[in-house]
Amino acid sequence: MSILINRKSRVLVQGITGHEGSFHTQQMFSYGTNVVAGVTPGKGGEWVLDGKIPVFDSVKVAVEATGADVSVIFVPARFAPDAIFEAADAGIGLIFCITEGIPIQDMMRVTRYLEQKQVRLIGPNCPGALTPGESKVGIIPGNIALPGSVGVVSRSGTLTYEVLYALKMKGVGVSTCVGIGGDPVRGTDFIDVLSLFEADPYTEAIVLIGEIGGNDEERAAEYIARHVTKPVIGFVAGRSAPPGKRMGHAGAIIEGGAGTADRKIAALEAAGVRIAQHPEQVAELVAPYLGR
């Protein structure tokens, strides 16, 4: 009932002994995620979570010892590009990078390298993914979503939680929620996730949460018009944002008249996407499409 991650995913945490890494490893583990290993260079041989999860010095050794196939990265921005390269070189096929603040030129080198390696990166500066009832990789609070048939994809973090919570309040469940991140250069984009949801038999409807900056929503709209048969509900944040100012996320900026919420909303509506006026309304708009 999911895309990208499920209860069988064997998850490795890079930066597992750090402040964020150790907290969220606990959270992921409690949720039921199959966390098999952690990596912190220099701490190989230690164990975390009361001896439940082994720590290794390198991703390569961790993969050999545990068969990890998904990695989630919590290391600080200046070390994160290296962590991504390391995971890719060790044969990990799906990497989630939660870290915020990675320089854009680093990310351009990383994404180009990963394209050649056929490795999927989600993020950076993203909350990860959640398949309710099965697995969560990253920092999305597990208790705000029910299992179900709505696929959620978003450039944002807490705004996504708001939408998940609104869906839960309406009794609407989620197949998988994927946060692709708020940076201008990232791995997976809307189109990649839309194609996965379109192909997933358990996903009945899709919720797309965008924001100002760039043209990801416009490109997603083009893709939806041509390739997506499932109903799509959209929300775009930043209608009231002034031009030329970076709204928190590195990628959320209106430049030279491009990247406005109005333009994105118009493109999505033209592709048949129903647009919610606020996050709570997403649940009202998606409910009629389910269980048909």
Give residues in contact with other proteins (CB under 8 A).
Answer: 20, 23-24, 77-78, 101-109, 111-113, 127, 139-141, 144, 154-162, 165, 182, 184-185, 209, 211-212, 214-215, 219, 235, 237-242, 245, 247-252, 256, 261, 277-280
CB of 140 to other proteins, least distance (A): 7
**Torsion sign across C-alpha atoms 95, 19, 6, 164:** negative
CB of 153 to other proteins, least distance (A): 13
Max distance between CA atoms of the chain, in angstroms, equals 56
Order of strands, sheet of 232-237, starting from the edge strand that comes earlier in the sequence: 135-138, 128-131, 174-179, 147-154, 205-211, 232-237, 274-275
| SS3 state of residue 199 | helix
Is 1 within 8 Å of 66 (Cβ atoms)? no
Give the residue with the Cβ less far from other proteins, 229 or 240. 240
CB of 34 to other proteins, least distance (A): 22
Nearest CA among 22, 29, 16, 14 for reference residue 135: 29
Give the residue with the Cβ less far from other proteins, 117 or 227. 117
CB of 91 to other proteins, least distance (A): 20
Residues marked active site are found at 249
CB of 248 to other proteins, least distance (A): 3
Nearest CA among 208, 159, 177 for reference residue 96: 177
Give the residue with the Cβ less far from other proteins, 56 or 235. 235
Q: How many CB atoms lie within 10 A of CB 54?
A: 18
Nearest CA among 84, 271, 39, 76 for reference residue 185: 84
Q: DSSP letters of 210-231?
A: EESSSSHHHHHHHHHHHH--S-
Give the residue with the Cβ less far from other proteins, 104 or 270. 104
